[in-house]
Amino acid sequence: MLISVFPRDEEGYQFFLEEPKYSSRCRLIDNKVSSRSKIKGYCASLHHPGYLTDKLIKQHQCIEKECKYLYYIAQEEKKRNFQIEIEIEDISEKVVSKANKAIKSYEGIRIIKAEYDMNNFWNLHYAAIASYDIEKIEGVIRKKLNTSIKLHNMNLDFETSSRLVFENK
């Protein structure tokens, strides 16, 4: 949607123009073509109608002149969750570490990885070379972490399980 910068209607509201959505490329006022992601505004002047980049807005001094033909394109805020993913990875390592400290007295079992579920609990995957009361171990870990968890056996062969359980101890 295009929103006017300076022109106003009789009641003082900004004008809105419909933005064409069919093309990913736009013709600029200098007759060049640019991708829609670089477009910041639109000039509705009859002398040179077309889209504007930041560079063209500065070059034509549209803001300094308070040009009544300048319309900004309302940019949708793109939400990225890269930072969230990085934070969850860092936290999951801490969760694994704390969970393993909580069950240190249990020989033959080790938490290998933790995955956060969007339903506010952690899925903890473990390797074991012995049988344990998993509900009891879940209770010990839940108490240490103070959050909801669910333990999942990785069902590995004995050699792989023993290697994972006893490595870095």
Sketch the domain layout of the chain as residue ranges: 2-73, 82-166
Q: Which residues 6+ apart lie within 8 Å of 12 measured at CB?
A: none
For residue 63, what are the CA distances in angstroms to 41, 43, 54, 68, 116?
11, 12, 11, 10, 48
**Is the pTM value of this prediction over 0.75?**
no
| pLDDT classification of 121: cutoffs 50, 70, 90 | confident
| pLDDT classification of 118: cutoffs 50, 70, 90 | confident
Closest to 145 measured CA to CA, from 81, 87, 101: 101
For residue 39, the model assigns a pLDDT of 82
Interatomic CA distance for residues 30 and 160, integer angstroms: 65
Check: CB of residue 127 under 8 Å from CB of residue 154.
yes
Check: CB of residue 1 under 8 Å from CB of residue 73.
yes
Residue with tokens 């419909």: 18
DSSP 8-class letter at 155: -
| pLDDT classification of 125: cutoffs 50, 70, 90 | very high
- Phi, psi angle pair for 122, to nearest 5°: -105, 135
Q: Which residue has the higher pLDDT, 115 or 118?
A: 115
pLDDT digits (tens, 9 = 90+) for 39-79: 888 888 888 788 888 888 888 888 888 788 887 776 555 55
Q: Is the pLDDT of residue 36 over 80?
A: no
Tell me the CATH architecture of domain 82-166. 2-Layer Sandwich (3.30)
Mean per-residue pLDDT over the chain, rounded = 78
pLDDT digits (tens, 9 = 90+) for 10-33: 555 555 555 555 556 777 888 888
Count of beta carbons in the 10 Å neighbourhood of residue 129: 18
| pLDDT classification of 124: cutoffs 50, 70, 90 | very high
Q: Is the pLDDT of residue 87 over 70?
A: no
Question: What's the rounded mean pLDDT across residues 140-168?
Answer: 88
Check: CB of residue 124 under 8 Å from CB of residue 141.
yes
Check: CB of residue 140 under 8 Å from CB of residue 103.
yes
